[in-house]
Amino acid sequence: MSARKPFDLGSAYSELSRACSIQAYDKVVNIGTKILSRYPTEHKALQCKVVALIRSEKHEECLGTIKKFPDLTKHVLFEKAYAEYRLNRINESAKTLLDADPNDLRILELKTQVHYRKEEFQEAYACLRKVIRNSQDDFGEERLTNLAAVAAAAACFSDEEIEVDINPEMYEAKFNIACHFVGRGDSTMAEKLLREAEKVCREALSED
């Protein structure tokens, strides 16, 4: 009988990287499990595994996996909070986020969602503003639309006052800001923005 081939951590990570690059999530989970069974302090393997579980919509299994490695939890706080959020455990997600890096843009964006779900609109607005100021990707207008939606919700469903100082280009955001002014009782500004939103929408549809 031939001797069992020794486990090569470097080769395992190379295989894990290839599986990640082609989004072979079941394979990522299997390789991550093998690495962690032999090297339970490998937080990169844990992170890859839990991300693969999240991408596979296996949020409960993700949390169960993290729970098995309490010493590594600090490396996967975003993933833990996100899985809790997706399972509608909003308070647990909020608690997990308290321990996370407050300057991590992923954390801030998730905090925005958590605060919004808890109807903490001022906090949601502040988090999303910080994300917008520090992001350099292609989602700026989409975030402005969401920012306007937060302000609109605050005006319509709570007593919170949020001063909106943005002038987005997308009609969805203009519509949301109009709703904000409706909630504040400013029908003149609301009507102006609704007309702008209609104009931008018509132009966008004509281009299609």
Weakest mean pLDDT among 81-85, 142-146, 167-171: 167-171
Distance from C-alpha of 49 to C-alpha of 27, rounded to nearest angstrom: 9
pLDDT at position 205, please? Answer: 58
Cα torsion 55, 97, 73, 60 to 10°: value is: -40
Whether the predicted pLDDT of 137 surpasses 90: no
Nearest to 110 by CA among 56, 119, 100: 100
Whether the predicted pLDDT of 19 surpasses 90: yes
Q: Quote the pTM value.
A: 0.79
Q: How far is CA 32 from the centre of its chain?
A: 23
**What is the three-class DSSP state of 15?**
helix
Distance from C-alpha of 176 to C-alpha of 144, rounded to nearest angstrom: 10
**Total count of residues recorded for the chain:** 208
Nearest to 24 by CA among 42, 46, 47, 48: 48
Distance from C-alpha of 193 to C-alpha of 179, rounded to nearest angstrom: 9
Q: Please state, as a whole number, how many other Cβ atoms lie within 10 Å of the Cβ of residue 155.
A: 23
pLDDT at position 200, please? Answer: 65
Weakest mean pLDDT among 50-54, 129-133, 138-142, 151-155: 138-142
pLDDT at position 39, please? Answer: 96
For 207, the token pair is 């281009």
Mean pLDDT along residues 40-56: 98
pLDDT in tens, 76-124: 999 999 999 999 999 999 999 999 999 999 999 999 999 999 999 999 9
For 128, the token pair is 């999303």
More confident residue, 180 or 81: 81
* C-beta of residue 29 within 8 angstroms of C-beta of residue 58: no
